[in-house]
Amino acid sequence: MPPPEIEARTQAIGRALLAEMDRYRPRVDEQVEDWLLSHAVADERFRTRLLRFLDVLAAFNGPGTADEVQELFHEYFADDFPGIPRPLRWLMRLARNEQVPASVVAEASRRAAQVFARRFITVPGEAGVHTLVESLAKTGRAPSFDLLGEAVLSAGEADAYESRYLALIAELAREPSARSRTIGGQPTLQVSLKLSSLTHHFSPVDPRGSVERVVPRLVRIGEAARAAGVGLAVDAEQYETRDIVWDAFRAAFGAGTSLGDWEDAGIVVQAYLRDVESQVEAVIEWARERGRPFQVRLVKGAYWDYETAIAAANRWPPPVFQVKDASDRSFDRCVERLLDASGHVNLAIASHNPRSHAYARALAEARGLPAGAIEHQTLHRTLEAMSRALAAQGWPARDYVPVGELLPGMAYLVRRILENSSQTGFLMRSRQEVSDDELLAPPPEKPDPPAIAPDGAGFERAPAGRWFDAAFRAAFDKALAVAQSSPRARLVLPAGVEAARTIEVHSPSDPDGPPVAVVDLAG
């Protein structure tokens, strides 16, 4: 529990923020979308079918696919769903009617998906990025643009992504607000990028190689952003690549590099990770060594379902907290520590929880920090009332804005629908008219389950190697060194050849290295 004076100030700031949110009057289309999101996805069975349908729908985006879309619709929505609103039930029944042409079902499905996708995703170019920059500026907000896309599977695709980032930066450089600063001293315009988009092999199996492949591209993008007066934030991804992201960030922006004195770079820290506090300490220590501040964007984390499922499948201890309150408490502890390091790091908190923003403000005031010491970030149009209210308080506020088309953006759309329908999240609780007292209550001291691997009965497959674990890699390297220093295995094979001969066997991953075995072919 925070000290009484901090908690009292948190409550006062939080109530002012909620009051400002209540003054927001959404447009009719936004009200309809909110109503559909909150009611339609409240039915768990319908929500599951809807998300699967949207995920597959993206693959049928070309001409001549109307019959496939109609068949897909019938497969996912053949049942009735009594838990969804009556008008939506009526539309679903109408679409299932065999008399309705496939072209109508397909076009209606695509248009409905595009309506929701365009709420959260902006299109590239003049009609999208430029218009959005101007729109956000009118309400005192700045953008951070993120290019959406699929996993990179080849070097050519990585080249294409680098070109897209450079093109986006060049487009932002032409904006009147390029090279301007927010009231918090950060670049008005910012680009967020995922390092996995810069190489086709971004894997903890080869952490050193992953860093070597990514850093040259990251440096080129960083230098372009610096020249354009645009900030650059490196996003966090799955836990298994966290250390690679951090190592690449340090290699690109460390002291003595071409970007070592640039203060407009940033890194993301995920508070839902059990070991996040040790990461925060490492970030602060390196910031002091670097001698120039950079932005640290603190988020709860967007891959909870993935991390939990992967850990369960491999019978590993989950790397993420299993109770939301534990993640919230972790978030608060990280805010405290990062504010203590203000001047070495520039804190940005990304959350849709009003208490998180209010608590950070109360802590900053208690430390005598200026209003610009914290930047407040939200996901674009996920909770417009909060995004506007944060800016209305006179605080630096930024929207995280995905840029892309419907097909590569569908996975992002699915995540936003999940967030909007989470029963434990602020978005759903606020729509259920939960009281201000409940919304602003400190996270209870509810213990998180121990991080132990789940027990299993019956058949268990061998788990994958924990290559993201430095201790595991060290143990493997030690075992490999022992094997390489041991006498080579010598195998005698009756191969029926005319003359006996000896073959040295080399590892495909190291063909120029020493042989791993020697085979004698006998006649």
CATH number at residue 147: 3.20.20.220
Give the structural domain span for 384: 122-403
AA identity, residue 167: A
Do 371 and 487 have their domain in common? no
Residue that finishes a domain, picked among 345, 370, 403? 403
CA separation for the pair 90, 292 (Å, rounded):
60
Residue 428 domain flag = no
DSSP state letter for 300: -
Do 394 and 511 have their domain in common? no
Do 235 and 151 have their domain in common? yes
Least confident interval from 45-59, 97-111, 156-170, 509-523: 509-523
Those residues whose C-beta lies under 8 Å from the C-beta of residue 344, and which sit 6 or more positions away, are 284, 287, 288, 293
Those residues whose C-beta lies under 8 Å from the C-beta of residue 321, and which sit 6 or more positions away, are 272, 273, 274, 327, 330, 448
Residue that finishes a domain, picked among 372, 403, 434? 403
Residue 186 domain flag = yes
pLDDT for position 423: 43
Residue 413 domain flag = no
pLDDT for position 408: 59
The token duo for 37 is 């999101």
Say whether pLDDT at 10 is over 90: yes
pLDDT for position 517: 76
Residue 174 domain flag = yes
Burial class (CB in 10 A: 0-12, 13-18, 19+), 305: exposed
Instruction: List, for residues 481-515, the tens digit of each pLDDT value.
Output: 887 777 666 667 676 656 667 778 888 888 888 77
What rounded mean pLDDT belongs to the chain?
A: 88
The token duo for 5 is 């004076």
Residue 206 domain flag = yes
Do 185 and 330 have their domain in common? yes
Instruction: List, for residues 426-485, the tens digit of each pLDDT value.
Output: 455 555 567 899 999 999 887 777 766 656 556 677 778 889 988 999 998 898 888 777
Q: What is the signed CA dihedral for 397, 402, 403, 406, rounded to 10 degrees?
A: -150
Domain count, the chain: 2
Do 502 and 363 have their domain in common? no
pLDDT for position 424: 47
**CA nearest to 270, candidates 312, 231, 241, 232:** 241
| Contact by Cβ (8 Å): 117, 409 | yes
The token duo for 396 is 């630096």
Go through the chain and tell me how many residues it has: 523
Categorise residue 76: left if φ over 0, alpha if ψ from -120 to 50, beta otherwise.
Answer: alpha
Least confident interval from 60-69, 311-320, 368-377: 60-69
Distance between the two ends of the chain, CA-based, in angstroms? 80
Do 341 and 202 have their domain in common? yes
pLDDT for position 228: 98
pLDDT for position 36: 77
pLDDT for position 65: 85
Least confident interval from 40-49, 184-193, 232-241, 420-429: 420-429
**CA nearest to 414, candidates 34, 52, 35, 40:** 52
More confident residue, 213 or 50: 213
| Contact by Cβ (8 Å): 287, 293 | yes
Say whether pLDDT at 425 is over 80: no
Say whether pLDDT at 519 is over 70: yes
Residue 254 domain flag = yes
Instruction: List, for residues 222-247, the tens digit of each pLDDT value.
Output: 999 999 999 999 999 999 999 999 99
Do 392 and 505 have their domain in common? no
Residue 335 domain flag = yes
Residue 273 domain flag = yes
Residue that finishes a domain, picked among 403, 426, 451? 403
Do 289 and 170 have their domain in common? yes
Least confident interval from 127-131, 148-152, 240-244: 148-152
Do 395 and 488 have their domain in common? no
Do 157 and 271 have their domain in common? yes
Do 394 and 497 have their domain in common? no
Do 263 and 359 have their domain in common? yes
